[in-house]
């Protein structure tokens, strides 16, 4: 399990979440940091002046020292959360997104904090999320929200829309719920329209027919998983519209929300690209984005 480390509070939360998850499944926790060699990072004050001075001969040494300090602190955080977890660390001089995508091919999961102070932390404002989620060979988890309760008995929530990627998200969500010993909430939203828009048009909306057809779709999406995961209790929730609002609301009661990714051009989300983007910005719990293995 690979975790991007940048020393920010969200990064520390990602390390704690990943440590407990890896320990519970017997996985190695791989902590990584991409060194920032931007021009600003190479400007430091000289002993005799407060003005910045470029010292290329010392730049790598300083950067390596800082990176090792960050990784040492992250390892301590991980061991505090999961004393028995096996930890490895690594430093790279390449871009964080490219490196994380490469590491995803030999990782069970890539875990990142929601925001941060370096390129690994620019998850919501730069190209990192598009690159990592759009090309990762494994699920990507973005850790958000406060520290979880212990024990954490909140459910896992999954977005269901009937697509092939949705089926992969459902499978991942069942696995997470089974490993965590909690219930699974399957959320299906018929349309991406705003909450209330469809129900405000009763001349063409039949609530009874809607409920029957959408429950049938959800049943089809979940078929077979009950036999594979008999220990998981499933709760089905269907809504007419407002996927972002409903999944965001469920994130306040969940320990993990799972959605699918289109794999090209960024996040696909449950019904529209904006759904996953909204969750990554505003969810109250970690969000897992599942995509095809081939990237």
Q: What is the mean pLDDT of each run of 10 residues along the chain (295 residues)?
A: 90 94 97 75 50 59 86 97 97 85 95 63 46 85 76 93 87 97 94 56 62 83 94 93 89 94 44 68 91 63
Rounded-to-5 percentages of helix, strand, coil across the chain? 40, 20, 40
Cα distance between residue 2 and residue 138, in whole Å: 10
Nearest residue to 87 (alpha-carbon basis) of 145, 169, 137, 15: 15
Q: What pLDDT, on a 0 to 100 scale, did the predictor assign at position 77?
A: 96
Give SS3 for 221: helix
| Architecture of the CATH domain 156-290 | 3-Layer(aba) Sandwich (3.40)
**Among 3.40.50.300, 3.30.70.141, 3.40.50.620, 3.40.140.80, what is the CATH number of 2-143?**
3.40.50.620
Cβ atoms of 143 and 11 closer than 8 Å = no
Identify whether the C-beta of residue 47 lies closer than 8 Å to the C-beta of residue 141: no
Q: How are strands ordered across the β-sheet holding 29-34?
A: 87-92, 29-34, 2-4, 110-113, 140-143, 287-290, 256-260, 156-160, 184-189, 234-239
pTM of the model as a whole:
0.83
pLDDT for res 184: 98
pLDDT for res 59: 65
User: Hey, where are the domains in the chain?
Assistant: 2-143, 156-290
Q: Using the 8-state DSSP alphabet, how is residue 194 labeled? A: P
């Amino acid at each position: 399990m690979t975790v991007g480390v940048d020393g920010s509070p969200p990064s520390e939360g990602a390390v704690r979440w990943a440590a407990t998850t890896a320990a519970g499944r017997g996985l190695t926790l791989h902590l990584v940091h991409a060194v920032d060699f931007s021009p600003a990072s190479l400007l430091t004050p000289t002993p005799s002046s407060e003005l910045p001075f470029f010292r290329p001969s010392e730049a790598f040494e300083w950067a390596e020292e800082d990176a090792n300090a960050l990784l040492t602190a992250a390892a301590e955080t991980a061991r505090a959360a999961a004393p028995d977890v096996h930890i490895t660390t690594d430093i790279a001089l390449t871009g964080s997104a490219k490196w994380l995508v490469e590491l995803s091919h030999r990782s069970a999961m890539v875990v990142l904090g929601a925001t941060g102070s370096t390129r690994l932390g620019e998850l919501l404002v730069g190209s990192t999320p598009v690159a990592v989620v759009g090309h990762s060979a494994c699920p990507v988890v973005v850790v958000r929200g406060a520290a979880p309760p212990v024990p954490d008995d909140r459910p896992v929530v999954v977005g269901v829309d009937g697509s092939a990627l949705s089926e992969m998200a459902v499978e991942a969500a069942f696995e997470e719920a089974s490993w965590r010993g909690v219930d699974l909430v399957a959320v299906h939203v018929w349309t991406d329209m705003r909450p209330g828009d469809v129900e405000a048009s009763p001349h063409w909306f039949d609530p009874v027919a809607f409920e029957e057809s959408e429950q049938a779709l959800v049943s089809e999406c979940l078929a077979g998983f009950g036999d594979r995961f008999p220990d998981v209790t499933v709760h089905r929730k269907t809504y007419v519209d407002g996927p972002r609002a409903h999944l965001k609301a469920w994130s306040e009661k969940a320990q993990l929300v799972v959605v699918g990714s289109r794999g090209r051009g960024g996040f696909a989300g449950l019904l529209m690209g904006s759904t996953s983007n909204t969750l990554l910005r505003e969810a109250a719990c970690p969000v897992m984005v599942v995509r095809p293995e081939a990237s």
